[in-house]
Amino acid sequence: MLNKIWAGIMLISIAAGAVTGNLDNVTNALLGGGSEAIKLCMTLGGAMCLWGGIMRIADKGGLTLCLSKVMAPLMRLLFPGLDTSGEACRTILMNMAANFLGLGNAATPLGLSAMKSLSKANPHPDRASTHMITFVVLNTASIQFLPTTVATMRLKYGADNPLDILPAVWATSLGAAVIAVFLSRLLSAKGNNRQTHLKPVNKKVRI
């Protein structure tokens, strides 16, 4: 699907450039875009490797276990009934730490691992559990203390102070996370009540 979207964007750009007489600019953008993308990947890759390595060392060194003990009250509040010393809790904490540092790419594989662990503990595999829904919205509206990726991109493109956006990032990410978790709990409660009040349908088989 993404390939079709990108192909459509390129075709529309080429057609618009031809109609407006700016086909040379479109051609230059197509030829130069590849090298700029590689440079951007190399720039972001350095920051990703640095913080990803630090997180790996922290996990192997037992910092994740200490973090799980410190954040156990918060985890019980967000995920009631979840084992705070289990694999799901560990990967959730690692995902939250990656998002906390603004490393969205590093948080993705950790999020997938956490969802697999939560799926195994889901008593109803035909639908997402409350824990799974809470984790998805919390991961999407992630709280960011240090937006590493955004700061790296701002530095690359000439920002004098790449971290001057911190107050806005803190306010928006924290507000989005609180609202997202609240709405997920509210809608999950309504969905559970609806499932409880559904009456079973007796089906008669005619021979």
Name the residue ranges covered by the structural domains of the chain: 44-197
Sequence-separated (6 or more) residues with CB below 8 Å from residue 125: 119
Cα 202 to Cα 63, 163, 192, 199: the distances in Å are: 54, 62, 22, 9
Q: Looking at residues 123-149, what average pLDDT do you find?
A: 84
Cα 170 to Cα 103, 140, 161, 163: the distances in Å are: 15, 15, 17, 11
Say if CB 145 and CB 101 are below 8 A apart. yes
Find tokens 């920051």 and name the residue. 47
Find tokens 């019980």 and name the residue. 76
User: With pLDDT > 70 as the criterion, what percentage of the chain qualifies?
Assistant: 89
pLDDT of the residue at 207: 42
* pLDDT tens figures, 15-33: 888 888 888 887 787 777 7
Q: Note the pTM of the prediction, 2 decimals.
A: 0.64
* pLDDT tens figures, 18-73: 888 888 887 787 777 777 778 777 777 776 777 777 777 877 777 767 776 787 78
Q: Looking at residues 176-186, what average pLDDT do you find?
A: 87
pLDDT of the residue at 203: 46
- pLDDT category of residue 201 using cuts at 50, 70 and 90: very low
Selected residue with higher pLDDT from 194 and 105: 105
Q: Rounded to an integer, what distance in angstroms lies between the CA atom of residue 19 and that of residue 50?
A: 46
Q: Rounded to an integer, what distance in angstroms lies between the CA atom of residue 168 and that of residue 21?
A: 41
Q: Rounded to an integer, what distance in angstroms lies between the CA atom of residue 127 and that of residue 74?
A: 25
pLDDT of the residue at 195: 54
Closest CA to 141 of 175, 112, 111: 175
